Amino acid sequence: MQERLDVIAFAPHPDDAEAACGGLLAKLAGFGYRVAICDLTRGELATNGTVAERRAEAAAASRALRLASRLNLELPDGGIRAHAEEQLGRVVALLRASQPRVIIGPHEAARHPDHLETHGLVRQAQFWCGVARRFPDLPPVQRPLLLRALDYHGMTPSFVVDISEQLDAKLQALRCYRSQFERGADSAPTLLNDPAYLERIVTNARTYGQLIGRRAGEPYAIDSAVMLDDPIAVLAPENSEVRA
């Protein structure tokens, strides 16, 4: 039986969630929330690394982020389809069984087709998990908040999370994926094992952190307006730095 979770980050391949939202996941786990990553595929089409290697790397990365759970739906790598009924049903079933309050998926400004399809699949599942007559085997649940995380291209965020204290954990988790991010004698050169890739992760964190006057940040987009009863308490607390 699937355990209850507070947060699930959906990613097309192992290592994608760590790159997109590893800082936030580590932060929320530190707050005591039950946080999970759900990889949609095993990454079997990756240029480097085997499925077994990536499974072990994902387990190590999960420990670095202090995740409560790591899930894998074993959809076909390269074959994620936002409108595939069977795939949608599996994501909906997971949401209904675990009842997360927040889910995270790739931003629509994605480069990889699997990332773009994951965006659409998660967005659809977020809606249909609350409709009783769609996939009626499990009862509907309250729809979780959907956050769209930074993918390949830049984005205009709805908000930025301060991950100054979690950036090291995020990088530690990413470095667990040695098959993907280390360019050895036997590995083929890729975008991921170019040393500049992890440097860009840090650069993005610094760039978005600068927007909020912090050392490092992660950007997120949401569709709905945010309700604030007390904007002063949230946006201008005492002793906060006033930024132009």
How many Å apart are CA 221 and CA 147, to the nearest integer? Answer: 6
CB atoms within 10 A of CB 153: 10
Instruction: Read off the pLDDT of each residue in 15-40 and give the average, rounded to a whole number.
Output: 98
Q: Judge whether 17 and 57 are in contact, CB under 8 Å.
A: no
Q: How confident is the model at residue 242 (pLDDT cuts 50, 70, 90)?
A: very low
What residue ranges define each of the domains in the chain, with the CATH number in brackets?
7-235 (3.40.50.10320)
How many Å apart are CA 54 and CA 179, to the nearest integer? Answer: 7
pLDDT tens per residue, range 110-156: 999 999 999 999 999 999 999 999 999 999 999 999 999 999 899 99
Q: How confident is the model at residue 244 (pLDDT cuts 50, 70, 90)?
A: very low
How many Å apart are CA 65 and CA 171, to the nearest integer? Answer: 10
Question: How much is the pTM?
Answer: 0.94
Tell me phi and psi for residue 165, to 5 degrees.
-85, -10
Q: Nearest-5° angle of CA 96, CA 114, CA 170? A: 75
Cα distances from 22 to residues 10, 72, 120, 219, 232, in angstroms, run 12, 17, 21, 12, 29
pLDDT tens per residue, range 49-99: 999 999 999 999 999 999 999 999 999 999 999 999 999 999 999 999 999
pLDDT at residue 233 greater than cutoff 90: no
Q: Which of 28-32, 183-187, 240-244 has the highest mean pLDDT?
A: 28-32
What confidence score (pLDDT) does residue 50 get? 95
What confidence score (pLDDT) does residue 96 get? 98
